[in-house]
Amino acid sequence: MTADSYPALEQVLGTLVRTARANLRGTAAQLGEDMDPASYTLLGYLYKNPDVRLSDVADAQCVGKPTISRQIARLEKMGLVERATDPADSRGQLVRLTASASEQMHAIKEQQLGRLREALASWPEGDVARLTELLGRFVSDFLSATRD
């Protein structure tokens, strides 16, 4: 990549991030008007990682345990999350989506995949695979560079 490519990359990434934020707000609203993007992102994590300890959720979301406990309590009151005793350690708690929330998240994820398929319908499968590979590499390298 030449030095001249970086401003174009920054512009494309800016557009992608703004579009993703707007889509996230709209997607979150599908779960109710009280649903904010951060809570929706948390539900997405729990959808992919059922029966997870609170401390693991906090680590994955890059927040402290008190913050994640408040977020989980709010989602619990909304009927979207439930807690269970950890069978491996009775002192610990596992968190999971309720059956209803899991069904809603599944429907939303299917809708999102449908949008991706529609948007990239004219792309050869190899291009989609390459984009996925390059974006994964970008995210990994970008996170490594910004953690230092």
Ordered by where they begin, the domains of the chain are 5-122 (1.10.10.10)
pLDDT digit string (tens) for 96-129?
999 999 999 999 999 999 999 999 999 999 999 9
Of the two residues 27 and 125, the one the predictor is more confident about is: 125
End-to-end CA distance of the chain: 23
How far out from the chain centre does Cα 133 lie?
A: 18
pLDDT tens profile 55-67 = 899 989 889 888 9
> What's the confidence (pLDDT) of residue 148?
59
Please state the pTM of the whole predicted model: 0.81
Average of per-residue pLDDT across 81-104: 91
